[in-house]
A and B are shown apart, each in its own frame.
Chain A
Amino acid sequence: MDKKLIEDAVEHLQRFIDPGVNLGIPIDDEGYGKMANLLHSFELTHARKVTLLESYMLLCLAVRCHQGTMAKEGYRLTRSILDGDYWFGLYFRLLAQQNELRLLAYLFPVIKNMQIQLMDGTSVTRVLSDLFFHFERFLQEQEQKRGGNGDEAA
């Protein structure tokens, strides 16, 4: 597992959060390590790997916050909803700023289906596993289109 990649993604993300927004990013998620390994299996620049890992992290954080609304109330419930909304919004902002527009469009139906699955009671673990699969498929498709060079945003 590439700890440096995860640390770089977390560090960049922490700087990307708006000043005054009090949110931390846990780095002990084994899913991040798995995604880091996946990204290493493709020919991508370090900067692009950081962006893709960040986008995956943001979606994981958003889903977990919103799933965490179960059995919460008052201030904690409000924070769970707002935090999930913030991560979700930051995901769109990140990919727009980094010009990852093909990935953005590719993931519209994927993220939509994740929400449908969550409404149907599918576990967060299963939903995030599906998300991982779609990231992998996107990278494979990009690599095939570019004739082996998957390192191109937009």
Chain B
Amino acid sequence: MKLHEALGVDLDLLNRRLIEVVETDSALPRPSVVADSIVQLIKAGGKRLRPIMVMVGGRFGQRQGREEHIIRLAVLMEYLHMASLVHDDVIDQANIRRNMPTLHRITDVPTAVHAANYMIVRAMEWASEAVDVDAGGVDEAERLNYTLRIAGMASMATQLCQGEYAQLENKFNFALTLDDYLEKTRQKTAFLMAACFQVGAEAAGAHPQVVEELAAFGDCLGMAFQIRDDILDYIEPDRKMGKPTGSDLRNGHITLPAYYALQDNRIGPCLRSLNEHSSPSDFDHAVRLIQESSAIERSWELYHTYVGQARQIIDRLSFHPSSRDLNILLHYFTQASKPQTAILQPQ
């Protein structure tokens, strides 16, 4: 069973709403390569993990009639994600995204960069219209509060950028501390996941303590997810993306396994000798040393610490029927990268 099915999320409806954002914008000229490309990007699919997390967060609310608010916030969250992918593709010089040419390949770099910005602000504009379509009407205070929530979501770009800056400026920095690694991981991945649950729960009027627990759950989920991803980078090649094992190290990124390996006096000197001019065989050797060291096992231990914390939060929220959905998400995130053992497989 797929994740959205297990959670009872109507993915077709979500995809239709995603397309609606672009198709209802009368300001965007037609025909338009950009409009077509955005629609194609949506139609090419995706797991929609972030909007799903917003919707699950919204199930912990107490207020009725908030469905339209929540789905619009979920759609905005996916647009923020899609826009970041467009910028990532430019930075990574990627040619293909979801089996389609990337936007900057179809147009050019500045156009793609502005198109991503367009996606963000158009989605914010569209999301802000929720207060106009809600039955029963809303007062001015609620309208402004909703605008505040939307702006808060867009301002998360500053956190994501800080994670990217840290990664960019610390290439081959073997003096990186564990705190540096955890901070970067939180900014790049966990912060956004925490925000997804928080935004959905707040919009649905969940109790502040429940909102706090859900944000902490998202943080643990994000940290565990990223640590797992960093470990798997050393264990198995990413055939889908054509990446060899240890591609993080080859790009100068010191992730958790490399950090722990650096503490080992037998491996540390070899790792510290690496730089951007090192040969592929030097990297092969270093990756093998890390694979054979205790670094992988120690990394799994930290991963399990975050998974354990996420489970404790689910236990504390067990009074709520939607805590079942958190279990489904935790199971998905901890199993998704190992299809042979997965019950819920990624799409």
Residues of A within 8 A of B (CB): 18, 20-22, 62, 66-67, 69-70, 75, 77-79, 81-82, 84-86, 88-90, 92-93, 95-96, 101-102, 104-105, 108-109, 111-113, 115-116, 118-120, 154
Contact = CB atoms under 8 A, between A and B. Distances in A.
Interface in B163-179: 164-166, 168
A88 B162 contact: no
B157 A88 contact: yes
B113 interface: yes
A86 B111 contact: no
Contacts, number: 119
A131 to B, nearest CB: 13
B162 A70 contact: no
Which residue, of B25, B147, B162, B164, has the highest number of chain A Cβ atoms within 10 A? B147
9 contacts: A20-B165, A70-B108, A78-B168, A81-B90, A88-B157, A92-B157, A93-B155, A101-B147, A116-B27
List the 9 closest A-B pairs by CB distance, nearest first. Answer: A89-B157, A93-B155, A115-B118, A89-B158, A108-B125, A96-B151, A92-B155, A92-B154, A86-B161
B133 interface: no
A104 to B, nearest CB: 5
A123 to B, nearest CB: 12
A102 to B, nearest CB: 7
B144 A67 contact: no
Interface in B76-94: 87, 90-91
B66 interface: no
Given A86-B161, A105-B128, A92 B151 contact: yes
A119 B111 contact: yes
Contact of B27 (A22, A79, A113): A113
Which residue, of A89, A112, A118, has the highest number of chain B Cβ atoms within 10 A? A112
